[in-house]
Structure 1
Amino acid sequence: MWITYVWLTAFLLVFSASITVAQDPVIIGNLRSSALTEVSGITASAYGSKVFWVHNDSGDRSAIYAIGNEAGLIATLELGGVTLVDAEDIAALSIGGISYLLLADMGNNLRDRDTLSLFLFKEPILEPGRDNYRIEADEIREIKFRYKDKRRDAEALFVDPIDNRIYIVSKRDFKSTVFSLSLSAFQEESVYELEPQMQLPFTFVTAADIRQDGKFILIKNLNSVFLWERKKGQDIISTLKGDFKNIPYKIEPQGEAICFDRDDRFFYTISERPFGLDAYLYKYDY
C-alpha cells in the first residue's frame, strides 16, 4: 500500500509539475495525539473559534475528535450504535439553524462493499474542562447509498449550504467522478442509487469542502489543491465544469483532509502520519 502511494505521488508530481508551485503555508500546530494517527477528514466547528472536527479512517473506534488551534486534542465524541469500516471525510451543515456533522463511511479500497453509509448527527457544543462526549444511536441518522453503475472508492464529500445537497467525489477512477444526493429526499431504510454527474480532469481525489456561503469549492488530490469560484445562482455541477485555479500546495506525507474556516478567510489541510511522520495543521490564504 505504501509503495503504491509513493509511486502514485511521484507520478502525479511529474504530471502536474508545470502547473503547481509549492508555497509555504502557515503552520498552526503539530498533530501529536496518539489517538490521531490516520486523520482523513477535517471540518471547522460552528461553535468554537479555530476548533476543528477530525477523524481517523479504517481501524479506529466509532468516534470523531475535536482539535484546537494548535492541533492539540480537545475532546472525543463517541458515536453510539455505529460501526465504522472506513471513514474518509466529514462535513458540516446547518438544518433549521442547528449545526450538524456528516461523517462519510465510504472508503472502499478493494471495492468489496456494495452499500456505503453517511452518518448525520448534531454537533455538540463543547464545554470547558470536558473532554468526552457521546451521541446515542437514536440521535444518529444513517444514510445508505450505492453507486448505480459499479462499486467505487471515495474519500471526498461536501454539502452545498444553499440546499443541503450532498456531493461525493470518487478517488480511483481514471478521472474522479462527481455524484450527488438530496438530503431532504432521504427516507429511512432506503438506499440511494447514485449516478455519475460529471468527471473532473484529474484523479485520486482525497478531500473536498465548500465555503459556508457556498461561494468557493475546494477539491484536493495527493499533490494539488483546486479552487472553483461559484457565480451567484450557479449550481454545483455547472461550477465544477468551469474554470478552476490550482492553488500552490505543500506536499504532505499523506494529505487526505481539507476545509475552509468559519471566517471565510483561509483554508486548512492536515495529513495522516504514516510511519510516525509529523503531521501539521496548515493554514492557506487563497
Structure 2
Amino acid sequence: MRRPLALAAAVLFALLPAVPATAAPMDPEDGTGGRNYPRGGEGPEGSEIVFNFQDERIAESSGLAPSLRHEGVWWTHNDSGDFAAEVYAVNEEGETVATVALNVELRDWEAISVAQGPEGEPAVFVGDIGDNFGGSWPNIRVYHFTEPEVLSDMVLDPSVLTFTYEDGGRDAEGLMIDPRDGRLYVVSKEFAGSVYAAPENLDPVGENVLSRVDSAPLFATDAAFSPDGTRYAIRTYWGVTLYDSTDGVPGRSVGSFDLPEMEQGESVAFTPDGTALMAGTEGMNSPVWRVPLEGEQLPDIAADAEADAGGDASEASPVSDAEDTDEGGSTGATPLILGGVAVAAVLIGGIILLVRRL
C-alpha cells in the first residue's frame, strides 16, 4: 500500500478510538493494554528485533516467509514502485544470500508464502494481489517457483496462477496457504475486509474464482498459517489477530494484541517451530521483530512441544475466556462492522478526500 492511504488510515484510526484495530474478543475489565488489547504499540513482553535488512535494494519489504529448505533463511520482496521484480533470501543477520529475479511484471506485490507446490516440492508463492485503485484490476496473480535447493542468484520464469473475486475486485495484501491441504487464501484490505478461499483444485491456465468465507480485521496487511496449519494470523498496521483453524477456515478467534510500533507494518509469518510470529515493516534497513506466543495462540505443534517439556499452555493463556465470547464460529471483523459502521459512514467521505489530496 502506498503512503497516502496509510496516512489516511492512521487518521481514521485516531478518529475511531472506540473501534478496535482488530476484530477479536477483548476483556472489558482490562483497559490498560496487554496481549489481548489492540492499542499500545509496545507488543507483548519478550518482543525483540531479530535482524534488520542489510540490502539497500530491500526498501519496502512487504512480505515475509520462512524457507522450507534452508534453516534460518527468510524470503521477502518489495512492494509496488520503482523496484526490480526480485525475491530475496535473507539470513538471520539480515544479509541477502540469494536474489531470484522473475521474468514477470511487478504490479503490486504484497505477500509471500512458502508451501508445497504442485510438484510436491517446496515452492515460493509471490502474491501480486495489491490494488491501489480500489479493485480496478480485472484479476490478480500469484507467481510460484520451486524453492532452490542451492541458494544463489538466478533468473526464473515462474508459473502463474490467475484469480478473480466472486464479488468484484478488491485491494488485498494478505496471502496464506494451508500446509495441510495446500489451499490458498487471500485477505482483502478494506474497512470491512474479507477472507477469500481459492478452489480446492486450481486451474493453472484459466481464471480461478476466490470465494468469500469470512470477514477480516480492519486494514489487514498480511496473513500466515502456522507450520502445522492449526493456527493462522491476520495482521494490520497496528496489531494481529490469531485464529484456531484446527477444524479449518474460517477459524475461531483466540485473541488479538498489539505488535511493536513500526513505520508501516506490512508482513507477518510464524517461526518454523510455531512459538512466535515474525513481523516486518517497510523502510530502508527495516527491522524484523520476533513476537512470542503463548496459551491458546500457540499452534498445536508448539503447544505439544511445551507440554512435553513440562509446561501447560492452557494455564498461561491470556485469552482463556475467548471461547466463551465466540462459541462455535469465527469473529473476523463482525464486531468492528456493527460497532463502527455509523461513525465510518460519516468519516469515509473525508478520508477519501484526504487520500486524493495527499
Residue 167, structure 1, aligned to residue 185, structure 2: yes
Provide TM-score, normalisation by structure 2.
0.70
What is residue 57 of structure 2 aligned with on the other side? 35
User: Is structure 2 residue 262 aligned with structure 1 residue 252?
Assistant: yes
Q: Following the alignment from structure 1 to structure 2, what is the Cα–Cα distance between the partners of residues 44 and 160?
A: 14
- The one-letter amino acid paired with 1:16 is P
Higher helix share: 2
Q: Which residue is equivalent to 1:264?
A: 274
* The structure with more strand, counted as a fraction of residues: 1
1:175 deviation in Å? 1.4
- Contact 1:12 1:223 (C-alpha < 8 Å) held by counterparts: no
Match of 1:195, SS state, is strand
Per-residue Cα deviation, 1:192-237 (whole angstroms, up to 9, x for no partner): 122322213x310000000111111111011011111233xx0112
Match of 2:290 among 266, 283, 286: 283
Letter in 1 for 2:9: L
Say if 1:51 and 1:68, in contact at 8 Å, map to a contact too. yes
Of 130, 136, 147, the match for 1:123: 147
Match of 1:6 in 2: 7
Q: Is the 8 A contact 2:198 2:211 kept in 1?
A: no
| Structure 1 residue matching 2:145: 3-state secondary structure | strand
CA contact (8 A) 2:238 2:258 kept: no
CA contact (8 A) 1:29 1:72 kept: no
Distance 1:188 1:3 in 2: 35
| 8 Å contact kept, 1:9–1:223 | no
Counterparts in 2 of 1:197 and 1:229: CA distance versus 1, 3 Å:
closer
Please point out which of 161, 166, 178 is paired with 1:148: 166
Which of 248, 252, 256 in structure 2 is aligned with 1:235? 248
Cα separation, 2, equivalents of 1:123 and 1:247: 33
Q: Quote the RMSD (CA, aligned, Å).
A: 1.9
Shift of 1:262: 1.4
Give per-residue Cα distances to partners, 1:137-176, cap 9 Å, x unaligned.
2xx221111112221100001001111110101002x311
Give deviations 1:83-125, integer Å, cap 9, x for gaps: 1211100111114651111111011110321111111210112
Q: TM-score scaled by structure 1?
A: 0.87
Give the Å deviation of 1:3.
4.6
Contact 2:123 2:145 in 1 (8 A): yes
Do the aligned partners of residues 78 and 4 (structure 1) sit closer, same or farther apart at CA in structure 2, a change above 3 Å counting? Answer: closer
Using the TM superposition, give the Cα deviation of residue 10 of structure 1 relative to its aligned residue in structure 2, in angstroms: 4.7
Which AA in structure 1 matches 2:72?
K
Q: Secondary structure at 1:185's aligned position in 2?
A: coil
Can you give the 5+ residue segments of structure 2 that lack an aligned partner in the other structure?
22-30, 32-36, 294-358
Q: Distance in 1 between matches of 2:60 and 2:85?
A: 14
Q: CA 1:151/1:230 → structure 2, altered by over 3 Å: closer, same or farther?
A: closer
1:265 shift after superposition: 2.1
Q: Which of residues 101, 107, 111 in structure 2 aligns to 1:89?
A: 111
* 2:80 equivalent to 1:58: yes
Distance 1:4 1:141, change over 3 A: closer
In 2 relative to 1, CA 74–11 (structure 1 residues): closer, same or farther, beyond 3 Å?
same
Question: Which has the larger displacement, 191-200 or 59-68?
Answer: 191-200
Q: Unaligned 5+ residue runs, structure 1?
A: none
Runs (4+) of structure 1 exceeding 4 A deviation are: none
Q: Identity over the aligned pairs, expressed in percent?
A: 24
Rounded Cα–Cα distance in structure 2 between residues aligned with 1:62 and 1:97: 25
Letter of the 1:176 counterpart? G
Larger Rg: 2
